[in-house]
Amino acid sequence: MTEATERLPRVAGLDRRRAFAVISEAVWWVTIVDGNFVRYHPEIYDSELAGRSNASRLEVEETLAGLRFVRNQIGHDIDRGDFIRGISGAAGPPHARDWTWTSLPEPTGELMSPRGLEWEMTRYKAYQSRLAGRPVVATFRCAASFLKIVAAGVTPAEEVAAD
């Protein structure tokens, strides 16, 4: 996860589809790490969230939920390149710091159960609130910094037990 998220600010000269390929790798890693901490180390995860101000906690929770929405939508009705756009006025070849998340239409949920649609709409609203219109790199900075703090609270013995 760290390698994928730290690579983003250095990536330059990619068209939208290729840029999103790099971004989607970071999405995958962040959401996998987040899911594992929630599942295997909930007390450390929850303690770190609880120790934050309401605004900081909400930012982290909604950023991670928004990234889960991206992960869930990859390969569905949304074209991968539609998730991002370059910042207008950026000079030279596109750089990762020049990409922002786009605003997206609500998912239709045609093939989802009512409960599944409600779950996905929560993530969609978080995406619209915390990701849409904002720089991609900043999103990962928020998510990865939180997850690194949680990781620091996991002792090696706990990590072995989780494996």
Query: Does the pLDDT of residue 63 top 60, yes or no?
Result: yes
SS3 of 13-24: the string is CCCHHHHHHHHH
What's the rounded Cα separation, in Å, for the pair 117 and 110?
Answer: 9
88 contacts: CB under 8 Å, gap ≥ 6: none
Q: Please, which pLDDT band fits residue 15 given cuts at 50, 70 and 90?
A: confident
80: containing domain: 2-162
The average pLDDT across 135-142 equals 94
The model carries a pTM of: 0.88
Instruction: Please write the tens of the pLDDT for every residue from 65-107.
Output: 999 999 988 866 556 668 888 876 556 666 667 789 999 988 8
Long-range contacts at 117-126 (CB < 8 A, ≥ 24 apart):
120/69, 120/72, 122/65, 123/65, 123/66, 123/68, 123/69, 123/72, 124/69, 126/61, 126/62, 126/63, 126/65, 126/66, 126/69
6 contacts: CB under 8 Å, gap ≥ 6: 144
Query: Does the pLDDT of residue 44 top 50, yes or no?
Result: yes
Q: How many domains does the chain have?
A: 1
